[in-house]
Structure 1
Amino acid sequence: MKNQKQAMLFGLAAVLLWSTVATAFKLSLREFSPIQLLVVACSASVVVIAIILIVQGRWHLVFSLSRGQYVQSIGMGLINPCLYYFLLFGAFDRLPAQEAQPLNYTWALVLAYLSVPFLGQRLRRADIIAGLICYSGVVVIATRGDVLAMSFSDPLGVALAIGSTFVWASYWIIATRDTRDPVVGLFLNFLCGLPFLIIFCAFTDGFDLTVGMSLGAAVYVGIFEMGIAFVLWSYAMKKAENTSKVSNLIFISPFLSLVFIYFILGESILSSTYVGLVLIMAGLWVQQRRAKDQGLKEDTPTRKHVDVESL
């Protein structure tokens, strides 16, 4: 049953959680490597999503899929969580949270561009304008305001952040053909991706995981960014009478995230971050308005999940 008030509440709850994850990423990465963070977070996510499915009485759906759908789960699991979060956490490991977090929001624009060759959609003038606005914001953030010098603070970190947007957009293009229940699909993707992450971690950084704030932050990422926020956003979309109003809530997330980054991480927010973030959000608004005019549905989780995710 549609209920716009409930949809907005679910949407706000998801946005609030996504606003905290950039801070949680950095707290965990103080002691963990990106792959160690990913193993812990993915494990926590598998457990919490399984509990959600059991509580909802949908656990039996996990065992009712075709062989092809289970094979699909392996392939999609290699993309998300494995490749996507490895690139994203790598970016956060190298960049300040105030830089990595806004760059990740450009994935929605990448999705619009990749939809042209892969989904047969038309590239409109608004998409080009949105791209120019968004990526001018990326340059402002990546150069920390020294645009004329074009000297990037950490080129590899920026490349990882931008690369993650292409992986995430590609994932959602593939997901347009996914007929599985969304929560069941997410559970199986993470469950199938987890063994690969464990093996990779074992042969690289190992499992010397100190019990403390970093471990708690990693578990938080898995429970909330990878799990509960996705479910809340799905409920918001199902309950919404007007999905556009709900999806617009995501524009609150990056600015609210800066509040947590400032007060919890102690990062001094640069003026270039504000300028770049405003440009990125303005570009996404232009792109979203174009999508609305075309009658496109905005039913994917935005962040991370515009889940728009963890964030």
Structure 2
Amino acid sequence: MNSALLALVTILLWSSLALLTDRISHLPPLLSVGLVLTACGLAGAVRLRRWRVSAATWLTGVGGIFGYHFLLFAAFGRAPAVEANMIQYLWPLCIVLFSPLFLPRNRLAANHLLGAGLGLAGAGLIVTGGSFGLRMEYLPGYLCALGAAVTWACYSLQTKRLQPFPSAAVGGFCLVSGLLSLALHFLLGAPGPNPTGADWLVILLLGLGPMGAAFYTWDAAMKRGDPRMVGALSYLTPLLSTLLLVAVNGKRFTPLHGLAVLLVTSGAVFGSLDTLRPLFASLARRRRT
């Protein structure tokens, strides 16, 4: 499976995240993310032997997965959800911009910057609904959201610099991150209800899908593909997530959503030109013959 297809599979899985997490939004955040990541890790334990990786790889994996989720939920607790979510969605742009720093051979071209910019604009319309305002009293939350974006981008790019390791090791990263989240939840004594039977089903689905298999396919996509292209494609996530909410929850599709579709799709195309050019050339040759 090529990198673009792996990235699209990841994006499709992540698009169900909002729909599923909404079903367990009544649970304490650190409890829900801890249970989901632990479920993912336990499911991946069937390949336990492939978790034998270097200490640097463990540090990168756990630091990225736990660090991102910890900062994200800290941001939601300290700033309005719309603004925090928009800021954390800077991670695809960070992946594009940081690529030359982590991978000096991956220089930025105009199409990469244009694709990332269009994707950011489209994602912004989806997440904010066209209204966005920053207030200084929420600065700690904004900084946590920015930290989450930078953490995920650095984790994603650093995996390409490490000694090659099997994607199955991501299960170990999730298990440790999940246990850390649960430990933090109980240490802080966060109040909240215990999961019901229906909640456990959603937790299992999340642990197998958008916070399970998606981490494996994302790891494989980043290792095999051009991070500038993968970063541009990633802005399809909030768009598809919103379309899924429209289809399942009956949310109204507005002209603003239509504009966002155009912007995100254009951004994905421009950001992926390096991958698409050989495909277009191949199709042109076939037509001539």
* TM-score, structure 1 as length reference: 0.66
Flag the 1:228–1:197 CA change in 2: closer, same or farther, 3 A. same
Q: How does 1:57-72 map to 2 (within 5 A)?
A: 59-63=48-52, 65=53, 69-70=54-55, 72=57
State how far apart, in whole Å, the 1-side matches of 2:221 and 2:94 are: 24
Distance in 2 (CA, whole Å) between partners of 1:162 and 1:278 is 26
Identify the residue that residue 19 of structure 2 maps to in structure 1: 23
User: What is the one-letter code of the residue matched to 1:203?
Assistant: L
Pairs aligned (count): 267
**Residue 45 of structure 1: how far off its partner (Å):** 0.4
Partner of 1:84: 68
Alignment check: 8 A CA contact 2:60 2:155 kept: no
* Structure 1 residue runs without a partner (length 5+): 54-58, 241-245, 295-311
After superposition, what is the alpha-carbon deviation per residue over 1:29-77, rounded to whole angstroms, capped at 9, x for unaligned? 2x113212211111100111113x2xxxxx33334x4xxx135313430
2:43 and 2:220 map into 1 onto residues whose CA distance is 16
2:121 to 126, 136, 139: 136
Distance in 2 of aligned mates of 1:169 and 1:89: 17
Work out whether residues 126 and 287 of structure 1, in 8 Å CA contact, stay in contact via their aligned partners in 2.
Answer: yes
Task: Answer yes or no: is 1:174 the counterpart of 2:163.
Answer: no
Matched residue SS, 1:32:
coil
Using the TM superposition, give the Cα deviation of residue 193 of structure 1 relative to its aligned residue in structure 2, in angstroms: 2.3
What's the CA shift string for 1:92-137, capped at 9, x where partnerless? 78547xx95x876653332120012232232322233234323333
| Identity %, equivalent residues | 22
CA contact (8 A) 2:118 2:267 kept: yes
Cα shift at 1:282: 2.0
1:252-267 equivalences in 2 (<5 Å):
255-267=239-251
**Whose helix fraction is larger, Structure 1's or Structure 2's?**
2
What residue number does 2:33 align with?
38
Q: Residue 74 of structure 1 contacts residue 192 of structure 1 at CA under 8 Å; is this kept in 2?
A: no
Distance 1:289 1:39, change over 3 A: same
> Counterpart of 2:23 in structure 1: which amino acid?
L
Deviations 1:113-171 (A, max 9, x none): 0012232232322233234323333443455225xxx5369x77877666533222111
CA RMSD in angstroms, aligned pairs only: 4.3
Q: What do residues 9-42 of structure 1 show as CA deviations (whole Å, max 9, x unaligned)?
A: x88765543332221122222x113212211111
